[in-house]
A = this chain, B = another copy of it.
Amino acid sequence: MMDLSFDVIAFDADDTLWHNETRFVVAQDKFKQLMSSYHSAELIEQKLYETEIRNLQYFGYGVKGFALSVIETAIELTDGQVRGREIQAIIDVAKGMLKAPVQIFEHVEEVIAELSKSYELMIITKGDLFEQETRIARSGLVNYFTHVEIVSAKTRDTYKALLAKHSVDARRFLMVGNSPRSDILPVVAIGGRAVYIPCHNTWAHEIVINQDGGQEGYFELEHIGLLPALLERLSSN
């Protein structure tokens, strides 16, 4: 087997360290309920998804853009008949999402604390700057990380630029995340390694498993609690 050791381990945040998609699923359910006198849950979900995709170019990722897309969908689905108090309910759900406590996944705290003794740890997360900073600050984990990078997209170029900026050799860089498209494939493509930890609530738009990246550069784990054992196995071979 290969002998692999790393200087820097970077973690995606949303749905890797803590729940994120759950908030959106819960919010969608509330929206479906709110609109249930107008349409079926299936149609509402389909229309909302279409609106979100169409609006990505304007709004990017995050709760605020989501809220605007939900409002737009509500207007469309009701032919403009939606009530002010229904729209306000949508805005209130968004505010609740933005203020909700950060729910860290099982094992995360112990694993991060342990690994921070031997590795330089980073967070590399995509999304809305204000939201991400707020959540990272409230997670209570921030002191374990040497750098926190919030980016608007996670492409090969993004990772290349980040590694250059922090003078990290790609071969000694490990990325841990739940999104093949954002966390795994671009990292493997530039010569880094990745650990894929699937999250059961990943957003439909993120499920684009491109097999072109090959299977060699990354490892798949059931949950983050298994990461220290994997690292030990890799470096001792």
A residues lining the B interface (CB < 8 Å):
55, 58-62, 64-65, 67-68, 71-72, 74-75, 78-85, 87-88, 91, 94-95, 98-99, 127-131, 133, 150-152
Number of copies: 2
Majority secondary structure of chain A interface residues (helix, strand, loop or mixed)? helix
Given A68-B68, A128-B130, A130-B128, decide whether A80 and B91 contact each other with a Cβ distance below 8 A.
no
Whether the pair A87, B61 counts as a contact (CB closer than 8 A) is no
Q: Tell me the smallest distance from the CB of A195 to a CB of chain B, in Å.
A: 26
Give the 4 A-B CB pairs with smallest separation, nearest first.
A80-B84, A60-B130, A129-B129, A64-B64
Whether the pair A59, B130 counts as a contact (CB closer than 8 A) is yes
**In the bound complex, CA of A102 to CA of B148 (Å):** 29
**In the bound complex, CA of A80 to CA of B152 (Å):** 35
**In the bound complex, CA of A18 to CA of B81 (Å):** 39
Given A61-B130, A130-B152, decide whether A85 and B80 contact each other with a Cβ distance below 8 A.
yes
Whether the pair B85, A72 counts as a contact (CB closer than 8 A) is no
Q: Can you list 16 pairs linking A and B with CB atoms under 8 Å apart? A: A58-B94, A58-B99, A59-B130, A60-B130, A60-B131, A61-B130, A62-B130, A64-B68, A68-B68, A71-B87, A72-B88, A75-B85, A75-B87, A80-B83, A127-B129, A129-B151
**In the bound complex, CA of A129 to CA of B152 (Å):** 7
Collect the chain B residues with CB atoms within 8 Å of residue A67's CB.
Answer: 68
Collect the chain B residues with CB atoms within 8 Å of residue A98's CB.
Answer: 58-59
**In the bound complex, CA of A99 to CA of B56 (Å):** 12
**In the bound complex, CA of A68 to CA of B94 (Å):** 10
Whether the pair B80, A68 counts as a contact (CB closer than 8 A) is no
Q: Tell me the smallest distance from the CB of A100 to a CB of chain B, in Å.
A: 11
Q: Tell me the smallest distance from the CB of A95 to a CB of chain B, in Å.
A: 5
Q: Tell me the smallest distance from the CB of A51 to a CB of chain B, in Å.
A: 10
Q: Tell me the smallest distance from the CB of A10 to a CB of chain B, in Å.
A: 17
**In the bound complex, CA of A155 to CA of B120 (Å):** 27
Collect the chain B residues with CB atoms within 8 Å of residue A83's CB.
Answer: 80
Collect the chain B residues with CB atoms within 8 Å of residue A91's CB.
Answer: 68, 71-72
